[in-house]
Amino acid sequence: MPDAKGIIKKVHQAAVEAVESTKPVNVCFGKVISASPLQINVEQKMILTEKQLVLSRNVTDFKTKITAGNIKNYYYTGDVNSGTAPVSPSHVHAVGTIEVTVHNGLAVGDGVILIRQQEGQKFIVVDRIGK
């Protein structure tokens, strides 16, 4: 006859696992300990590697387009002894749309907010923790 304590322990473990599996996500916090290759220490319990991480745009370098209006070049006249005086803008540029790179990648020491996907296989790095 099986041990009653052993059966109770197994039923308890099965119940805990059933409850955990119904949690769709879990929010946790971490700290970047290596930028390349990326490694994040989660709540001082485990270290996640690049294979386990899904990075949002908030924590990666990315390119985006911006629209710049008219840019006026202001010229100043004068010399070292008398100071400077602004001159009316005589030169205007219509820039239009340009592409820029936003350098937003993670660095060592950055605190991050993560969401653990169900079953804990992947962690989504949502954003940095504000300083």
Question: pLDDT, tens digit, for every residue of 27-55?
Answer: 899 999 999 999 999 988 899 999 999 99
Q: Compute the distance between CA of residue 34 and CA of residue 49 in angstroms, rounded to an integer.
A: 9
pLDDT value at 74 more than 60 = no
pTM recorded for the entire structure: 0.62
| 99: DSSP letter | E
For the chain, the domains span 26-60+104-131, 62-102
How high does pLDDT run on average in the chain? Answer: 81
**Length of the chain as a residue count:** 131
* Residue 25: predicted pLDDT: 73
Longest Cα separation, the chain: 104
Q: For domain 26-60+104-131, which CATH number applies: 1.10.260.30, 2.60.120.460, 2.40.50.140, 3.20.80.10?
A: 2.40.50.140
Tokens encoding 129:
């923790």
Report DSSP state, residue 87: E
Tens-place pLDDT, residues 75-97: 555 665 666 555 555 555 666 78
| Rounded Cα gap, residues 59 and 66, in angstroms | 19
